[in-house]
Chains A and B, each alone.
Chain A
Amino acid sequence: MVFSSIPFLYYFLPIVLILYYMAPGKMKNGVLLLASFIFYAWGEPRYIVLMITSILLGYIAGIYIDRYRGTKYAKYILFLSVAISVGFLGYFKYADFFISNFNAATGLSVPLLKVALPIGISFYTFQLISYTIDVYRGSVKVQRSCLNLATYIAMFPQLIAGPIVRYADIEASLTNRKHTFGDISYGIRRFTMGLSKKVLIANPLGELCDVFAASGEQSVLFFWMYAIAVSLQIYFDFSGYSDMAIGLGRMLGFKFMENFNYPYISKSVTEFWRRWHISLGSWFRDYIYIPLGGNRVSKVRHIFNIFVVWFLTGFWHGAAWNFIIWGLYFAVLLMLEKMFLLKYLAKIPQVITHAYVLLIAGISFVIFDAANMASAGACIMAMFGLGDAPLVTAETLYYLRSYASILILAIIGATPIVKQTAEKFSQTALGSKIVLVAEPLVVVGLFLVSTAFLVDGSFNPFLYFRF
């Protein structure tokens, strides 16, 4: 089930909210867990068993790591637990990638397993791994209630597309949380903003990308429009989902970490990755990069660490070479920035550094979105006039005119301009009164318009479900 769907918005969510708020405090986690299982089973009836098995193994591992704390057995159990989690992920997500590459390298024809990817496996696996490692490190207490741990892992707002919520961040809320009107109204606003970002901006941009892909008259200008559209689509799709997850979490009494912080205003790639998919970046930092030694090692080892982390970041996004290349592309850029580029970027005008980041990000998302590296390469070459595409066609101009407003809206929305202006305005005497009335009207309006787009259209896939 996706958040931006009529069954979720008008059937699942109201029933869950009614039951959740009616349930006494001790039963709220039970209601939440049951709802989360139904939410997951709605899209993946068969794989609910896999998720429950993973949760049980994580729960048992946590208990035994705690029991054997300080002995070598705790390490063995941790290793076994992580290996099983990674094993599940490897089998369901990467087995066919390895087989097809093995076949290509050896000329053999080992049959593919053709296993369907369980939704959200990358997210809940990382949460389980972080939990068991944190228990091993002693940075969190072991969760002795299987219900509470399952509620954490399976909680539907963040189950299938993140953010990757750390157990430490919601440990206290699992057993003791408050539900205030302030949190509920914030959650409603945040959820509606996310829904609007997804439905009113990301989906139309996705349609433009589809039009581009189906076009028989691609021009240089159209390749650039596509690169801009896909970069914005991925941002609004994913950050919209994160907003919805954070909003839902707040309505249910949880505070999830922020996942995006206007990445397209960055002045370096390093800064971009501090603002983009923050929960994933911090996960890799805390559970891969730092354990490998981080930057407190020799230069060669540091470079190796960076490559490992970004290889895994790319590979986490998908079992295909373009994702790996996408990750390594950032590894190279981040390394260059660390070595010397950041110094120069700090000295040159901001307009150039912004342009540099946008160009790097645009090219990266062309690679990210491509079916394979050959088409990514062809697209990037065509962007720079190195293909046989004409500069512009009538079709390109038509779609530029048709999508210009959405592109401009998306570009403005990807910056904090609107938020900052509204905040400044609301600080004035008149502004605060206007905002008091206008804000609920805007939220109601956005909710209704988003509903209208959902009722009318069927184009609604969430990009991050495949990860």
Chain B
Amino acid sequence: MKEKKHIVYTAIMALLFFGMSFFCWFKPADDFSWTERRPLDQFPKLNMQTLLNGSFMSKFEEYTLDQFPMRDQFRSMKAAVAFYILGQKDNNDIYMVGDYVSEMEYPLHKEAVSQSMHKFASIAEQYFQGTGVKLYHAVIPDKNYFLAADNGYLSIDYEALFQQVKEEGSFMEYIDIVDLLQLEDYYYTDTHWQQQSIIAVAEALADAMGAEVKTSYEEHTLDTPFYGVYYGQLGLPVNPDHITYLTNPVLDSCLVYDHQNNKEMPMYDLDKAVGRDPYEMYLGGSLSVVTIENPAAATDKELVIFRDSFGSSIAPLLVDGYKKITLLDARYLHQNMIGNYVEFTNQDVLFLHSASVLNNPSAFK
């Protein structure tokens, strides 16, 4: 009886073990992980040099992790065990509250915030001195501002961050938009705000800068489910979002230009809405220099926005108040290159970044 038990036991484990091993060896390699939005490691180069310096071994390990059969299912299993059996509050810093998924932003990196503000000050000193530009700045509270502390998760001291930004950015006029936002204005599975929920924010920003954007929009909601950036990181099945974008005749008539790739592009790229990051449909995603020209503008005012990805969805809502809007991403554009795209005369200049970008030590290095 005992021997029979051992044979059955060994057979079960051998079947599982060797079955999974063969699957690992013979599964064709995938190129891209859609849930993590990144390319997957391929089989590393094998030669005497890479063997002797050990680089083959370390890359082979990365390759085996990336190409593991049913990788997403195993990651889901890990997340489920971490949350529901081991009782962990987060899984790799990703947490869930109801249908909302977010990544803990903690702690407050005061040096990173200072670094960001020094960067803005340096840009101001290089380009704005002696010009007629008016400088404004605003901080977008990330989703954790509304979600983390109330639900027992760690979050940065936002009041301290806002205060630091105001003090170190005293050369700019601060526009407070926090009270105009609430949790429902953000996607469930993504870090970003939803365009249809930030009209009031756009109006407040324009109003503070002396522009007027009172206008109406038509809402278009995409049928394609939007699995935000946290969806893949969470590893558990949650309901997807749906992207809504706003149009009106003024927006339809605008000319949008991608200076990074020297080409015209649509305000909303519907092809990207079904791509690896659907949020990139707003003004092409993470481009360093984009201009929007509004031929129907009733003003000659121009706006320059130093922004992060949040700026892509709000910029169209500011178009009505300006003849031209230039979006610059100082994280990807060298400071000395800015002058190649904008001649600063008397524009409104808005520094608009999310708290999580300002708090990121590597954002404005």
Contacts and interface: CB of A to CB of B under 8 A. Distances in A.
Interface of A: 1, 5-7, 10-11, 14, 18, 42-43, 45-46, 180-182, 184-185, 188, 200, 204, 216-217, 394-395, 398, 401-406, 409, 436, 439-440, 443-444, 447-449, 451-458
5 contacts: A43-B54, A204-B88, A405-B85, A453-B78, A455-B65
Contact of A440 (B9, B81, B235): B9
Residue among B18, B24, B61, B153 having the largest count of chain A Cβ atoms under 10 Å: B61
Contact of B10 (A11, A185, A448, A454): A185
A403 B88 contact: yes
Chain A contact residues: over half helix, strand or loop, or mixed? helix
A409 B90 CA distance: 18
Contact of B20 (A7, A10, A43, A217): A10
B38 interface: no
Interface residues of B, number: 47
Contacts of B90: 402
For the complex of A and B, list the 4 residue pairs with the smallest distance between their C-beta atoms, beginning with the closest: A405-B87, A181-B6, A402-B89, A14-B21
A457 B16 contact: no
B283 interface: no
B246 interface: no
A7 B58 CA distance: 10
Given A395-B106, A404-B87, 7 more contacts: A6-B68, A10-B64, A181-B7, A200-B86, A405-B88, A440-B12, A456-B92
B6 A7 contact: no
A188 B10 contact: yes
A44 to B, nearest CB: 8
Given A398-B154, A457-B78, A182 B6 contact: yes
A351 to B, nearest CB: 27
Given A14-B21, A188-B13, A451 B74 contact: yes
Contacts of B235: 456
A37 B89 CA distance: 43
Interface in B125-155: 152-154
A182 B18 contact: no
Contacts of A200: 81, 86
B64 A7 contact: yes
Given A7-B64, A10-B24, A402-B88, A455 B75 contact: yes
Contacts of B18: 14, 18
Contact of B152 (A398, A403, A456): A398
Contacts of A18: 18
Contacts of B10: 181, 184-185, 188
Given A11-B25, A181-B7, A184-B10, A449 B77 contact: yes
Contacts of A46: 52
B2 interface: yes
Contacts of A439: 9
B160 to A, nearest CB: 13
Given A10-B24, A185-B9, A455-B68, A409 B86 contact: yes
B17 A14 contact: yes
A401 B152 contact: yes
Interface in B37-55: 51-54
Interface of B: 2-3, 5-10, 12-13, 16-18, 20-21, 24-25, 51-54, 57, 60-61, 64-65, 68, 71, 74-75, 77-79, 81, 85-90, 92, 106-107, 152-154, 235
B9 A188 contact: yes
Contacts of A409: 86
Contact of B6 (A43, A185, A395): A185
A406 B5 CA distance: 32
B79 A11 contact: no
Contacts of A449: 77-78, 81
Contacts of B81: 200, 449, 452-453
A440 B11 CA distance: 11
Nearest to B153: A398
B86 A405 contact: yes
Given A45-B52, A404-B87, A436-B5, A10 B65 contact: no
B89 A398 contact: yes
A11 to B, nearest CB: 7
Nearest to B25: A11
A405 B89 CA distance: 11
B107 A217 contact: yes
Contact of B3 (A182, A402, A444, A455): A182
A14 B64 CA distance: 15
Nearest to B75: A456
Contacts of B13: 185, 188, 440, 443-444, 447
A165 B54 CA distance: 29
B64 A395 contact: no
B74 A455 contact: yes
Contacts of B5: 185, 436
A452 B86 contact: no
Nearest to A443: B13
A251 B16 CA distance: 16
Nearest to B77: A452
Contacts of B92: 456-457
Nearest to B154: A398
Contacts of B17: 14, 447
A184 B11 CA distance: 10
B78 A455 contact: yes
Contacts of B153: 398
Contacts of A395: 106-107, 154
A244 to B, nearest CB: 14
A439 B2 CA distance: 14
Residue among A10, A394, A404, A449 having the largest count of chain B Cβ atoms under 10 Å: A10
Given A216-B107, A398-B154, A402-B89, A444 B78 contact: no
Contact of B21 (A11, A180, A184, A188): A11
B16 A444 contact: yes
A215 to B, nearest CB: 8
Given A182-B6, A185-B6, A436-B5, A204 B86 contact: yes
Nearest to A405: B87
